[in-house]
Amino acid sequence: MESKTPIIQEFANYTLKNIFASLGLSLYVIVDTLFIALAAGAIGLASLNIVLPIFNLFNSIGLMLGIGGATIYSMNKERDSSNNDSLYGQLLISGILVGIFFVIIANIFTNQLLYLMGANSQTINVAAPYLRIISFSAPLFIVNYISVNFIRNDGNPKLTMIATLSETGMVIIIDYLLVFVLGLGMNGAAFATLFAPLTSLVILTHHRFFPARKLKLKLRMPNLTLVKSVIRLGFPSLLTELSTGISIFVFNIVLLRLGGNYEVAAYGVIANICIIVLAFFNGVSFGMQPLVAREYGKNNWKDVRKILYASLVTCSVIALVCYIFLVVLKYPVINIFNNEHSNLLVTYASYGIPFYFLSIFFSGININVMIFSVSINQPRLSFFISLLRGYLILLPTIVIFGYLFGVTGVWLSVPFTELVVALLSILFLRNILTQNFA
């Protein structure tokens, strides 16, 4: 039996690499938002926030196929590796087909989609070309998500970290050149987005030189039974990721009714800051996931529990540090995005930060429990938590709290939701641990 030190050291190794990878991707999102704010102001931020739910949708598909497929891959490595030979290739074909579908829909029904997302006469002319351009990144992002998850679960988190950080650095440079040097504005930021998954995929091809590589690339037409199994395990991750886009949509609608474009822009600032915080939690959870899936495949329940507890403690410490930082330094952080020196933007965003970010004390718990549940082949719990967290509690709470308490209620809807779901998650998690790992 393995001692405590090796598994915790392995957890720390995976977690650090995945945190850096998650932060790298989040840094690109933040810088891209900053460039758009500088180039197009508050209307640009509002337009970006309107497009984000659509962009979020094809990212969610990629995450679903990546997490679901990589989990099956990890479990099969310990049980029946013959089933893994064409799994990766089948999912790549599936991802490319879905991505092409997104490109077609986004370019044919551009305005209809944007008006559905809450666009108005001020934002539609800015958002439409942006959506058309970034839609062409859909197949690339989906394939990249699949590849990152498989390669990480094949024992090479270092390469996925390098790919993500390199992708971020390269795209920030291209973003700057297109937006400011060539003067393409927000459309330049959209073109730069295409280079993000391309850069990552080029670097990920070096996995073929990895000495311990077991992953094989055998392109096969998708087997529906296998794809259904992948979707079953990955669907909670899709719901979690997709809930971000749907909640942005509902936030936009409610805030537009309570105020206007500046309230939506303030939410855009807060949501982008939150991306950084959630990147820490995602990094910890994705670092935990391959180890838990592997030890579950070995029936090593003792180490499964150790990894879970280490992950929960890590997220709690991160939440405390981030909350203190954001409350104390909220004005400098907001002003990074405030090139127009708008007092309204500062007022709305600074008021919302202390309320909204109470949620992070519970978000880490919920993300951990969801990923953990999938890793031990119990996707129903993860699915249930995803539904509560992203839909059944959050969406009506945004509307009801907004109606009862105005903008303050909108900011409090997220921490309220995360708290309720965290309490339920702990109860369900305790039941699982008692039944299986006692």
E strand or H helix at 118 = none
Report pLDDT digits (tens) over 206-237.
888 888 777 777 777 878 888 888 888 888 77
Rounded to 5 degrees, φ, ψ at 302 are -65, -45
pLDDT of residue 136: 94
pLDDT of residue 322: 95
pLDDT of residue 436: 64
Task: Report the greatest alpha carbon distance in the chain.
Answer: 65
User: What are 430's two structure tokens?
Assistant: 């305790």
CA torsion 259→263→264→269, rounded to 10°? -170
305 Cβ contact partners less than 8 Å away, ≥ 6 residues apart: 433, 437
DSSP letters spanning 340-400: T--HHHHHHHHHHHHHHGGGHHHHHHHHHHHHHHHHTT-HHHHHHHHHIIIIITHHHHHHH
C-beta pairs of 55-59 under 8 Å, 24+ apart in sequence: 55/134, 55/245, 56/241, 56/242, 56/244, 56/245, 56/248, 57/102, 57/242, 57/245, 58/98, 58/99, 58/102, 58/138, 58/141, 58/142, 59/141, 59/142, 59/145, 59/241
pLDDT of residue 437: 53
148 contacts 204 by C-beta, under 8 angstroms: yes
Q: Nearest-CA neighbor of 34 among 386, 276, 311, 242? A: 276
Report pLDDT digits (tens) over 353-380.
999 999 999 999 999 998 888 888 787 8
31 contacts 174 by C-beta, under 8 angstroms: no
155: left (phi over 0), alpha (psi -120 to 50) or beta: left
Place of tokens 């989040």: 26
pLDDT lower than 70: segments of the chain = 1-5, 78-85, 436-438
Helical H segments across 80-137, by residue range: 87-108, 110-116, 124-135
pTM of the model: 0.73
Give ∠ CA 435-309-153 in degrees, rounded to 5: 95
pLDDT of residue 141: 92
